[in-house]
Every structure is written in structure tokens, then in C-alpha cells.
Amino acid sequence: MGSSPCRQSDDNPILADVYSPSDFPPFAVTVDLVVLTVRADALCALLVRRGEAPFRGRWALPGGFVRVDESVDDAAARELREETGVGGLHLEQLGTYGEPRRDPRMRVVSVAYLALAPDLPVPVAGTDAAEAAWVPVDRVGALAFDHGRILGDGVERARAKLEYTPLGAEFCGAEFTVAELRRVYEIVWGVELDPRNFHRKVTGVEGMLEATGESTTRDGGRPAALFRRGPASVLHPPLVRG
């Protein structure tokens, strides 16, 4: 913020420190979540079916009100936990959407967040959501409010993130093989990647992967080494989209 939330009452010092509804336009603030995962060979988003007007019965992004005593970031983390039943997922701000009539009832400003999740068993229906489901992002129809645009922004952000961060691993489980990670990249980017060059690349980038020492044959063939996410937060050099 910055200037003067109490501008109109600044000449009255007794009002300078108290909340007065006439001092500022009334806004509602919500958080919306773009929760993405990779499952069944598709990039999927977590959607909920609205049980109330407006847009009753329409699919929408999960989300909800920011409470008076919690930060906006905390509200997003809380909603994510409520919707997925899991904590500790990667969560970052995507953008804020504040068109005057994006909600037909009143002035609502929404802060959108992007979360990358591993393939969770099944979405937990939220307290106020009639239904929840993973929907492939290229099969999503019209969403409520401006959620279609928000989802699009989230997908594009996720695709870009894979290039210069190790966050592709967030889509995998705690331990994964190079081939599993490569399939994540292929699905999110919609391209085919050379397995051999990909292997050389990701195992060569400093801090991206940490070998566990274990291996698995769950993909068939020769046992593959298992890795964890490494400590790097930025990749040097970045991966490149085919």
C-alpha cells in the first residue's frame, strides 16, 4: 500500500488510528488456487463444482476468503491444505485479478496462487465444494468468473518454471527416476525429449538432483537410480523446451 488509507479523516487526528468504513471503498479479498498435477499422461488441474449462485453447477478454481487475522499467503496455504489434504506443497503467487465486475455480486479482488502437486490419490471435496476433480487442462470448458484466464496464466507459468527451476520434480513423488521426471517434462511441455540427452542434462545441472543410492525396476528393464530434489532453486544452465 502506501499513501493514506484514512485520507478523508486525516484532519481529524482522533480517527487516524481507528478503522472507519467510510474511509475506503469496501473490497472482498479472496484467494484462488491453480493446483496442477501430472496424471494419466496429462497435465491436470484441480477444479471444484460450485454449489451456489452465481455460476451454480459450473466448474471453478478452488479458493475462498482471506480471513481478517491471516495473511493472504497463509490463506492460500490453508485453502490448499483443505482442498488436497496435503501440506508442504510448492505454492507461489501467480497474480492478482481485480476487474470491477469479475464477480457479479460485488467488488472482489482475488489473489491467485500456483501449486504443483504429485499425483494425489483423489481430491478431497472441500467443505463448501459440491464436487472436486482433476481435469486435463486441455479439456477444461468454460469456468466460473474469470477462472479460465487465471488457469491459463497458471499453466503458462508452470511451463516456464520447468525451464529454469527444478520444480518439475514437485510433480513426482519424493523419490523418482530420471525417466519419470522426463515424462513430466514431456507432458507439461507437450514435446518429446531425447532420453539420453535429458539424462545427461539433468544429472549434470548442479544441485538439481540428489542420488538416493537406491534403484528401482518399476519402469521395467534395467534398474533405474532413484533421485530426490536437490537444493538448487534456479537452474544454471536452464533446460530448454524442445
Partner DNA sequence: TAAATAGTGTCTGTTAGACATTATTAG
Partner DNA sequence: CTAATAATGTCTAACAGACACTATTTA
Choose which of 87, 197, 231, 233 interacts with DNA (CB under 7 A). 197
CB of 202 to a second copy, least distance (A): 20
CB of 44 to DNA, least distance (A): 23
Instruction: Specify whether 131 is catalytic.
Output: yes
Confirm if 62 and 32 have CB atoms less than 8 A apart.
yes
Q: Which of residues 158-187 bind DNA (CB under 7 A)?
A: 177-179
Q: Which of residues 124-183 bind a second copy (CB under 8 A)?
A: 128-129, 144-145, 147
> Does residue 119 sit in helix, strand or coil?
coil
| Closest CB to DNA among residues 130, 240 | 240
Q: Which of 131, 163, 175, 210 is catalytic?
A: 131
Distance of CA 231 to the CA centre of its chain: 20
CB of 145 to DNA, least distance (A): 39
Can you read off the three cell numbers belonging to residue 30? 479472496
What single-letter DSSP state applies at residue 200?
A: H
| Closest CB to a second copy among residues 97, 227 | 97
* CA-to-CA dists, residue 214 to 175, 196, 210, 226, 230, angstroms: 9, 20, 11, 6, 16
DSSP string of 131-196, one letter each residue: EEEEEEGGG----STTHHHHHHHHHHHHHHHHHHSSGGGGGS-SSB-HHHHHHHHHHHHT----HH
120 binds a second copy (CB under 8 A): no
| Interacting partner of 223 out of a second copy, DNA, none (Cβ under 5 to 8 A depending on kind) | DNA
**Dihedral angle at the C-alpha atoms of 48, 49, 55, 60, nearest 10 degrees?**
20
Choose which of 4, 197, 203, 215 interacts with a second copy (CB under 8 A). 4
From 85, 69, 71, select the one nearest 35 (Cα to Cα): 85
Q: Which of 216-232 are b and which e, b meaning 16 or more Cβ less than 10 Å from the residue's Cβ?
A: eeeeeeeebbbbebbee
| Interacting partner of 77 out of a second copy, DNA, none (Cβ under 5 to 8 A depending on kind) | none
6 binds a second copy (CB under 8 A): yes
Confirm if 154 and 207 have CB atoms less than 8 A apart.
no
214 binds DNA (CB under 7 A): no
225 binds DNA (CB under 7 A): yes
- What residues are labeled active site? 131
Residues that bind DNA (CB under 7 A): 177-179, 194-197, 199-201, 203, 215, 217, 219-225, 237, 240, 242
Residues forming contacts to a second copy in the complex (CB under 8 A) are 1-7, 10, 16-19, 21, 23-33, 48, 50, 52-54, 60-73, 93, 95-100, 102-111, 128-129, 144-145, 147
